[in-house]
Amino acid sequence: MKKVQFKSSYSQYLFLAPQLGILLIFLYWPIIQTFRDAFTMQDAFGFGATFVWFDNFLFIFDDPAYFIAFKFTIIYSFVITLITGSIGLLLAVQANNVMHGKSTYKTLLIWPYAIAPAVVGVMANYFFSERFGLLYHLFHELWGFNWYESVFDSYIYVIIAGSWKQISANFIFFLAGLQAIQKSVIEASMIDCKNSFRRFWTITFPLLMPTTFFLIIINITYAFFDTFGIIDTTTIGAPSGETRTLVYKAYMDGFRGLDLGSAGAQSIMMMLIVLVITIFQFRYIEGKIHYN
Amino acid sequence: MTRFITSSFAHLILLIGILVMVVPVWMIFASSTHSSSMINMNGLQMLLGDSFYENYLRVLLYQGGFFKEITALKMFFNSFIMATGVAILSVVTSLMAAYALVYYRIKHATLLFWIIFITILVPLELRIFPTYSVMAELNLVNSYFGLIVPISASAIATLFFRQFYKTVPDELLESAKLDGANTWRFFVDFLIPLSKTMIVAMLIFMFVFGYNQYLWPLLVTTSEQYWTVVMGLKMMSGSIVHRFAFVMMSMVPPILIIILLQKHFIKGVFQDK
């Protein structure tokens, strides 16, 4: 904290009020309602709600579809993190190595970051449609690809659609991380270690750890939440619910099924997952890596 | 010689990366300049056709038939209002909140800090129905206010501004105090000019964030008059080339902003000097 500050006075509340007001009305109020929904059950005509303790939670644990969505979300975030992280890192290392055209490469690689997931999904649709989708036909020739029926193939579809634009985000952050490493460290390591491959893994990569862990969190959050637009414009959960993320399932149960109790319980489960990931990051990872 | 090989290798990898990014978008663009019958017979195209003006003008302007009540032009207008609103509202409120958190000796500072920052863990997707019912109770469904404000309820920019203020040397406030600046003057005359890069970066970030919203506009607009471009993708009908044209146009504003302002964006987010 600052050593020099203004004394506490009414004016501090004027500065805080706009954001706090918006957060209280449009964030805390809905969150309280989420908890209320999760612990109550609406009667069939929507006139009232009864308090049902953990019944909504027990229902979702009994629902095989919930575990299918859970499994898919975990696999999806893991694979997306792995693919976009490694390709992003590979591109960033190469862009950092070249002498000429560094900024041109940068410009040509960062723009997909700006495209909305829903737009990416619609585009992916054209490449995976049975009628004229190039990738559909290529994969179909190779191993009989058919995402309408095969779970594995539908995974491939949404993983490609979901990874494409996220490579850019990983590229930007890794490149910034690489450029922040001091030249003298790299030059010293060049004298000690002639093998550039080994040099990368023993010197450069450990120095990139803060960036890597930051990106892991960013990618997991992306796969959990931002991919809604991708799922909704590509498989819509095809073949039969195997490519629904937890967010997508909660939305469908709440919107199509009008089951707000279940949607609320599912939201709270996701809040818990996010909380666990965050605590894990702060407690475990932040303590183990060295900045600078 | 090894130097030449490694550098050629680097260029090759980067080139492949760029092709993976550019080719899909180029193919949709090239295909959007053909006629529907051409696409239906021959699939996606690599080369430009001659129906560019015809297709794009039709998508932008024609009302009725294609869209029932709204033109794509109106959707762009709505998206622009929404994205600008989100950017300005969230950046201004965050700028102020971060100021109070860093520059005041506040009682319960830790509590306030957590009340604001824990919200980062609860994205809109997790509270979408209750947020909708709050909006319905406040009678804000089908309004620009309803599109903008819940998306602006975000403390991400506050986190960035707080980090930035903490790096500002204490001497700045000391000398400002000597000059007789009060809290408001210090904020407006000293701190805001100093945060310009960060402000621009956050405006870009939040604009793209607002423009790219999909789920929330889908839920909160039942009247076509408030449809945005990105949600319109789901709603639009029409022939295949018109869809291509719509997809292409939908990605132009955020891409243009990122490319034109990339220096400011990267400078602000990474605090490059």
Cβ atoms of B106 and B99 within 8 Å: the answer is: no
Note whether residue B185 is domain-resident. Answer: yes
CB spacing of B106 vs A118 below 8 angstroms: no
The pLDDT, as a whole number, for residue B97 is 94
Per residue in A156-180, pLDDT tens? 999 999 999 999 999 999 998 998 8
Note whether residue B64 is domain-resident. Answer: no
Cβ contacts of B205 on chain A, cutoff 8 Å: none
Are residues B249 and B145 both part of a single domain?
yes
Give the number of other Cβ atoms within 10 Å of residue A72's Cβ.
24
Are residues B175 and B242 both part of a single domain?
yes
* Contacts across the A-B interface (CB distance below 8 Å): 252
ipTM of the complex: 0.91
Regarding predicted confidence, which is higher, B177 or A138? A138
Are residues B79 and B210 both part of a single domain?
yes
List B residues 234-273 in contact with A (Cβ-Cβ < 8 A): 234, 243-244, 247, 250-251, 254-255, 257-259, 262, 266, 269-270, 272
DSSP β-bridge partners for residue A50: A41
Just give the CATH number of A55-288: 1.10.3720.10
Range of the domain at B7: 1-50
Collapsing DSSP states into helix, strand and coil, what is residue A41? strand
The pLDDT, as a whole number, for residue B273 is 43
Pairing of strands A40-42, A49-51: antiparallel
Per residue in A25-54, pLDDT tens? 999 999 999 999 899 887 766 667 788 888
Note whether residue B63 is domain-resident. Answer: no
Per residue in A254-292, pLDDT tens? 887 778 888 999 999 999 998 888 888 777 666 655 554
The pLDDT, as a whole number, for residue A268 is 93
Nearest by CB to residue B214, choosing from A131, A228, A263, is A228
Q: What are the boundaries of each domain within chain A?
A: 55-288
Are residues B121 and B240 both part of a single domain?
yes
Are residues B266 and B142 both part of a single domain?
yes
Give the number of other Cβ atoms within 10 Å of residue B252's Cβ.
12
With a cut of 50, say whether residue A5 has pLDDT above it.
yes
> What CATH number is attached to the domain comprising B208?
1.10.3720.10
Are residues B103 and B208 both part of a single domain?
yes
Minimum distance, in Å, between the CA of residue B151 and any CA atom of chain A: 9
Note whether residue B61 is domain-resident. Answer: no
Cα separation, B64 vs A101, whole angstroms: 48
Are residues B46 and B76 both part of a single domain?
no
Minimum distance, in Å, between the CA of residue A270 and any CA atom of chain B: 7
- In angstroms, the Cα distances linking B215 to A253, B89, B123, B220, B249 are 15, 20, 12, 9, 20
Are residues B3 and B38 both part of a single domain?
yes
B21 part of contact set with chain A, CB < 8 Å: yes
With a cut of 50, say whether residue B132 has pLDDT above it.
yes
Are residues B88 and B36 both part of a single domain?
no
- In angstroms, the Cα distances linking A185 to A188, A200, A257, A292, B236 are 5, 12, 58, 11, 55
Which segment, A203-212, A269-278, B80-89, is predicted with the most confidence on average?
B80-89
- What six digits make up the tokens of A82? 């792995």
Are residues B34 and B156 both part of a single domain?
no
The pLDDT, as a whole number, for residue B31 is 93
pLDDT band at B271 (very low <50, low <70, confident <90, very high): low
Collapsing DSSP states into helix, strand and coil, what is residue A6? strand
Note whether residue B20 is domain-resident. Answer: yes
Cα separation, B268 vs B273, whole angstroms: 9
Are residues B17 and B122 both part of a single domain?
no
Give the number of other Cβ atoms within 10 Å of residue A203's Cβ.
17
Kindly report which listed range (A154-163, B46-55, B264-273) carries the lowest average pLDDT score.
Answer: B264-273
Number of folded domains in chain B? 2
Cβ contacts of A132 on chain B, cutoff 8 Å: 39-40, 43-44
Cβ contacts of A105 on chain B, cutoff 8 Å: 14, 18
Cβ atoms of B161 and B98 within 8 Å: the answer is: yes
Note whether residue B58 is domain-resident. Answer: no
Cβ atoms of A230 and A158 within 8 Å: the answer is: yes
Cα separation, A93 vs B250, whole angstroms: 32
Cα separation, B50 vs B24, whole angstroms: 20
Per residue in A219-261, pLDDT tens? 999 999 999 999 999 999 889 889 999 999 999 888 877 788 8
CB spacing of A30 vs B234 below 8 angstroms: no
Are residues B178 and B234 both part of a single domain?
yes
The overall average pLDDT reported for chain B is 88
Cα separation, A33 vs A25, whole angstroms: 11
